[in-house]
Amino acid sequence: MDVLKVFIGSPCGLNLRNVLWHGFASPQDIPPKYCSTMLLLTAGLGQLLKSYLHQTKVTLAHRPFATLTNLEDVIVFPGKFYVSHYPFLCLHGGICTGFK
C-alpha cells in the first residue's frame, strides 16, 4: 500500500502519475524504470478492480460523458492552433472552426 501512496496517491509522495500524465517531466528527469513501474501498477490495478467487481457482483458507476458545445471556450492558447488541424475537435456534423 505504501508503494501506491508514493507512486499514485498522496500529495506528500512523488505522485508520479500526475508528473507523467500531465507531461511535467522530460525523459532525462525520470528514469525509465519508474515509468515502467507506473504502467505496470496502472494495468495491474485495473485488472484487480475488474476481478474484484466481478467477484462481488458490484457495478461500477461511470461518470456521464461531457458534451462540449462551444469550442471557443475550450481553446487554451488562442492564436496558436487551428481547430481544423485536429479533426477530433470538430463540431457535430463535421463543421470545424479555425481560430486566428
d(CA 17, CA 8): 5
Task: Output the CA angle 17-21-24, nearest 5 degrees.
Answer: 95
Residue 76 has pLDDT above 70, yes or no: no
d(CA 70, CA 78): 14
Average pLDDT over residues 72-84: 59
Task: Name the average pLDDT for the chain.
Answer: 72
Helix, strand, coil shares, percent, the chain, to 5: 45, 0, 55
Average pLDDT over residues 2-6: 70
- What is residue 86's predicted lDDT score, i.e. its pLDDT? 54
For 6-38, b where at least 16 C-beta lie within 10 A, e where not — what string?
A: ebbeeeeebbbeebbeeeeeeeeebeeebeeeb
Residue 63 has pLDDT above 60, yes or no: yes
Residue 59 has pLDDT above 80, yes or no: yes
Please give the single-letter amino acid code of residue 86: Y
Tens-place pLDDT, residues 26-55: 878 888 888 888 888 888 888 888 899 999
pTM confidence score = 0.44
- 59 Rama class: left (phi>0) / alpha (psi -120 to 50) / beta: beta
Return the higher-pLDDT residue of 45 and 5: 45
